[in-house]
Chains A and B, each alone.
Chain A
Amino acid sequence: MDRAEVDSSIRSLIEPFNKKGVEVADNTTFANDLEFDSLTVMDFVAAIEDEFDIIISMNQQAEIENYGQLVDAVTKLQN
């Protein structure tokens, strides 16, 4: 899957978690813009992990602050 395909797939996965309907761009942050708490993060990460059959460890999650970084990381991990 290339970056654009990963992007569109994650975009649909994020919808149920994006309760306020924030417009998602590469620089949208999970903590501030999307206001994800730790439980939401866990469920969202689990959804991505299951979709792409990958592990995003907490060590890797710590490096991911915004949407663009997440798409980059998943693109790399699933190859």
Chain B
Amino acid sequence: MSNPIDQASAATDLFSKFDPLIQQRQQLLDAGVQDPFSLVMEKVLSPTRAICNGRETILLGTYNYMGMTFDPEVIEAGKQALDDYGTGTTGSRVLNGTYQGHKECEDALKEFYGMDHAMVFSTGYQANLGIISTIAGKGDYVVLDIDSHASIWDGCAMGNAEIVPFKHNDIEAMEKRLKRIPEGAGKLVVLEGVYSMLGDIAPLKEMVRVAKENGAMVLVDEAHSMGFIGENGRGVAEAEGVMDDVDFVIGTFSKSVGTVGGFCVSNHPKFEIMRLVCRPYVFTASLPPSVVATAATSIRKLMHGSNKRAHLWENSKNLHGGLKALGFQLGTDSPQSAIIAVIMPDLERGAMMWEALLNEGLYVNLARPPATPANMTLLRCSLCAEHSEEEVRTILGMFERAGKAVGII
């Protein structure tokens, strides 16, 4: 059955470590469920509609919170930049990859956040990876929430600092750890405004105060709050009134801004040195001119987005209240962000529910371990300011029919 050559190659297959995952995935597909992780959007009609499997589908699982992807002015800025500057920079920000558009994009960020410095990265992932791994060095301590995003954990893994996690949103656990750090060591507290799996927010007012009292610098990832939370859309730190005590805000263009890219804004007087020492900034090509042009235009429009922000909150409240009334178990007791997480009993029924919703004409995110806290399977709904009140009612009807068909409610 097996000859020696087969055995030798099997023994050295570096992919064997993935066998349990391959089996789990196969079991799911064998049960007749459509693969939730290989959906193709054949056409995109608007920030809230696409054609999937030949059918018009309401999008409730994008990070297009402010619906900027089809804004005519934003699109026009991108087209103009393509004409004026070409398709790409073919170089690093520190060599030939900084065009006028990159500076204008950083200027827009400085104005948006009211901060002295802004540094644009090629992705949000790289912004966390680069800033955390660079500023926290050997002998320093990074104190972070256990539910932090993968890019934060990877930034910790890439650096040489001591990594000290604490229980999710637990102010006391964070404080205890800060107080135990040896005197004289550098301290960085890493928090997120909105935690994207359950859509809950951090008690930043208390946490930032405690961090500062203990001599730590504070980095807040506001990826899922930019443009939406806070009076000017600066995020949870703004809403909680602690913006001035946050040393670094990390953000992304791939959510409310509606394109791709990441950034860090800061008032630190020495911040500009980051451009020379931060490897994920230096050793990668800069964003294409059209991307930074769309980002800058979108960011400037988001400064005046208060009506859209108000409508998005209405959507979030309506969907949260409606799902709760239908009997679904939700990730938060009250709506705290534009993300409403519906907790599924297990992965199999989660995948069935996901497919039933898709057949109804609704796309949501299926999230599963290890991306989720406490090994939960979630259907994550993320709302858009462009969803109408009527659309939210339609969505609730789809959830009711699918939930009953799968036997979850």
A interface residues with partner B (beta carbon < 8 Å): 37, 39, 42-43, 46, 49-50, 53-55, 57-60
Contact = CB atoms under 8 A, between A and B. Distances in A.
B173 A46 contact: yes
Contacts of A57: 141, 162-164
B165 A55 contact: no
Nearest to A56: B164
B177 interface: yes
Contacts of A49: 176-177, 180
Contacts of A43: 167
A60 B162 CA distance: 8
Contacts of B51: none
The 8 closest A-B pairs by CB, nearest first: A57-B162, A58-B163, A55-B180, A57-B164, A59-B162, A57-B163, A55-B164, A42-B146
Contacts of B162: 55, 57-60
Given A42-B146, A46-B166, A53-B180, 7 more contacts: A39-B374, A39-B375, A49-B176, A49-B177, A50-B176, A58-B156, A58-B164
Nearest to B173: A46
A55 B374 contact: no
Contacts of B164: 55, 57-58
A37 B141 CA distance: 24
Interface string B365-408: 00000000011000000000000000000000000000000000
Contacts of A37: 375
29 contacts: A37-B375, A39-B374, A39-B375, A42-B146, A42-B165, A42-B167, A46-B166, A49-B176, A49-B177, A49-B180, A50-B176, A53-B180, A54-B180, A55-B141, A55-B162, A55-B164, A55-B180, A55-B181, A57-B141, A57-B162, A57-B163, A57-B164, A58-B156, A58-B162, A58-B164, A58-B165, A59-B162, A59-B163, A60-B162
Query: Chain B interface secondary structure, helix, strand, loop or mixed?
Result: mixed
Interface string B166-204: 110000010011001100000000000000000000000
A5 to B, nearest CB: 20
Nearest to B370: A38
Interface of B: 141, 146, 156, 162-167, 173, 176-177, 180-181, 374-375
A53 B180 CA distance: 7
Of A37, A39, A55, A60, most buried by chain B (CB within 10 Å of CB) is A55
A57 B163 CA distance: 5
A41 to B, nearest CB: 10
A58 B62 CA distance: 33
Nearest to A39: B374
B145 to A, nearest CB: 11
A34 B180 CA distance: 28
Nearest to A58: B163
A55 B182 CA distance: 10
Nearest to A42: B146
Contacts of A60: 162
A49 B156 CA distance: 21
A34 to B, nearest CB: 18
Contacts of B375: 37, 39
A37 B146 CA distance: 14
Nearest to A62: B163
